[in-house]
Structure 1
Amino acid sequence: MPNLSSLLLLAVAIFAGAVVPLQAGANANLGRLLGHPLWATVVSLGVSLALILPMLIAFRAPLPSLAVAFKGPWWIWVGGLAGVIYITAALLLAPKLGAASFIVAVIAGQMVISMLIDHYGLMGFPQKPVNAARLTGLFFIVGGMVITQIANVTPALANAPR
């Protein structure tokens, strides 16, 4: 049974996940207003920067040493690339797929890669081997994605001209 601290962490993670569809919808509309989805990506990342800078000042976070960061493994820079890929994909795909279909596909992709990261202990994560229970959970997530996509196609086929 999880303790109160674990439950609080899970609640924060659920909240963080709950705002992701809002980001996709807001950015998709912003892209339309700005005339191109990539401008919405730039604005979104700019707003993120504008919000995080005061937090760095409030927490009195010391300036980092980029020289130290450049000595780290190559994959520490993947976060920025992943952010751009996600934001741009959300801008382009969420309006076409719908919020739920886009997000369930994102979650399925996240879970597949997360399972590999855990299994091999990649990126500094502790190794958590894949087992039957974890594979079953992954199966349900990917299966849920497939069912959600089928549910989207079925009404479209029913309404198609004959």
Structure 2
Amino acid sequence: MPNAVRMSPLIGLPLSLLAGVAIPSQARVNGALGERLDDGLAAALVSFLVGLVVMVGISLALPRGRAGAGQLIPALRERRFPRYYVLAGMIGGYFVLSQTLTVAVLGVAVFTVAAVAGQTLTGLVVDRLGIGPAGKKALTVMRVVGAVLTIAAVAWAVSPKLGAGGEPSEWLLPVLLPLTAGMLMSFQQAMNGTTGMHYGTPITATLVNFISGTVLLAVMWGIKVAVSGPGNPLPGEWWLYLGGPLGCIFIGVGALLVRSLGVLLTSLGLIGGQLIGSLLLDIVFPAPGSVVVAATVLGTLLTLLAIVLATLPWNMPGGGPFRRRGSRTPAKASRQRPQ
């Protein structure tokens, strides 16, 4: 497996927070585009298409992008990773589909809690199994506490809006869609991190994501058009097409960081960034009817605390309290290795 440059959490976590801010911004832009088109699925497809054009341009313009693209076919031919990893972008398509089908029933708040819960919990599983490029991460007490605390914090942050989901009997089944979509997001980050490492750059991993995601959304949109017809024509405002570039930032930074931070910590940073971005948008550019309340602010701060708890030094591999008795730390193992 190729050597990868490891990034310190002191650098990686702020980057993940900034990348997470791109998601609520993207949601706001794509939401506005969906309203103008009267077709949320078409808005998602346009977003992916613009992102694909951006990534093709970056891949052609940058030497590292060209080099990574040149590694795509050899990596698949030599089976450096499971070939189905190139379909990771379809998970993003499934996430969009679950949003399209359930947000009207659940409300954004319940959708967010379900997706974040799934993403955080499977982040623990993916790290424990060593699916991502960072290898196996110790299941320490504080990593578990950080994950559980993140779920509780997000639930607290969106609690003022939970009433939008209706009676439990109405959203118990629909909530499974965002829950499973969130679970798959952790696997997507692990797959992107692995493929990006073998391509030699996250640029190519992001490009392949947009290719597979665009194909899936195009098929879904074609079925939708055949059933109910197209929506409105494309609007002229340039800012309505920023969703794709924002998605490039989110996917690319996630693929870059997961090799150093692991899936769980990358997910926690991205979640914290999403909450911070949503809070800033509601304060600076509030949507009609949105109100910033104390629970939202405090829940966001609690999420940041959970990220800090999950990244403190006691979570170093081999030093967690869940380590089996008799196992040696890396330092002791190196001293006892035969010469």
Tell me if 1:141 matches 2:303.
yes
Among 108, 118, 129, which residue is 2:272 paired with? 108
* 8 Å contact kept, 1:120–1:129: no
Structure label with greater radius of gyration: 2
Q: Which amino acid in structure 2 is aligned with residue 13 of structure 1?
A: P
Aligned residue for 1:40?
205
Aligned partner letter, 1:77? Y
By how many angstroms is 1:119 displaced? 3.9
| 1:91-140 CA-partner distances (Å, limit 9, x unpaired) | 11011001110000100000011122234554xx3332222222221122
Shift of residue 78 of structure 1? 2.5
Q: 2:186 aligns with which of 21, 26, 34?
A: 21
Answer yes or no: is the 8 Å Cα contact 1:28–1:94 preserved in 2. Answer: yes
C-alpha RMSD of matched pairs (Å) = 2.6
Provide, for residues 27-68 of structure 1, a one-character-per-residue CA deviation record: whole Å limited to 9, x for no partner. 1111123332211111110000111111111111527633x2
Label 1:56 to 1:96 Cα distance change in 2 as closer, same or farther (>3 A). Answer: same
- Give the counterpart of 1:62 among 213, 226, 230: 230
Q: Is 1:128 aligned to 2:296, yes or no? A: no
Decide whether aligned partners of structure 1 residues 129 and 36 sit closer, same or farther in structure 2, where only a CA change above 3 A counts.
same
* % same residue: 25
Query: Is the 1:118–1:127 contact (alpha carbons within 8 Å) kept by the matching residues of 2?
Result: no
Amino acid paired to 1:81:
P
Distance 2:300 2:174 in 1: 21
- Partner amino acid, structure 2, of 1:62: P
Structure 2: tracts of 5 or more residues without a match: 1-162, 320-328, 332-339
TM-score with structure 1 setting the length: 0.79
Counterparts of 1:128 and 1:64, CA distance in 2:
27
**RCO comparison, higher one (Cα < 8 Å, 6+):** 2
CA drift of 1:13 comes to: 2.8
SS for the counterpart of 2:193 is helix
Structure 1: distance between partners of 2:243 and 2:175: 22
CA contact (8 A) 1:94 1:102 kept: yes
Pick aligned residue for 1:87 from 251, 258, 266: 251
Q: Deviations over 1:136-160 (max 9, x none)?
A: 211221111111111xx32439668
Does residue 52 (structure 1) correspond to residue 217 (structure 2)? The answer is yes
- List gaps (5 residues or longer) in structure 1: none
